[in-house]
Amino acid sequence: MADRIISMRHQLYDTLKARGEISLPRPGTPGDWTHILKKIGMFTFTGLNPEQVQFMTREYHIYMTLDGRISMAGLSTKTIPHLADAINAAVLGLQGQS
């Protein structure tokens, strides 16, 4: 189980680094996402604010605590791209782009 969660952390980090707008000077979702790799355990803080969390719930049907804490154990290879898209959209402020 621990190895699977570590794998999910790496996949989420890599996917976030690959997202972003083409027009940005540096590809990837803006921000430093290394904290995802540094933490251990079944949960991690995304660093998102309550407005970004509410956007993700409303537009992408992703649920987490308002402080941005999400279950890493609940992720899978199939759900990580959707989560990364939602985080990217929330960080970039892309309202209604689901």
Tell me the whole-structure pTM to 2 decimals: 0.85
Which residues contact residue 36 at a Cβ distance below 8 angstroms, ignoring those fewer than 6 apart? Answer: 9, 12, 13, 16, 44, 46
38-48 confidence digits (pLDDT tens): 999 999 999 99
Measured at the CA of 71, the angle between CA 6 and CA 3, to 5 degrees, comes to 20
CB 6 within 8 A of CB 75: no
Percent of the residues in the chain that have a pLDDT greater than 70, as a whole number: 87
Amino acid identity of residue 31, one-letter, is G
The answer on pLDDT for 16 being more than 80 is: yes
Domains of the chain plus CATH, in order, are: 2-92 (3.90.1150.10)
Residue with the two structure tokens 């308002």: 66
Residue 86 φ/ψ region, left for φ over 0, alpha for ψ in the -120 to 50 degree band, beta for the rest? alpha
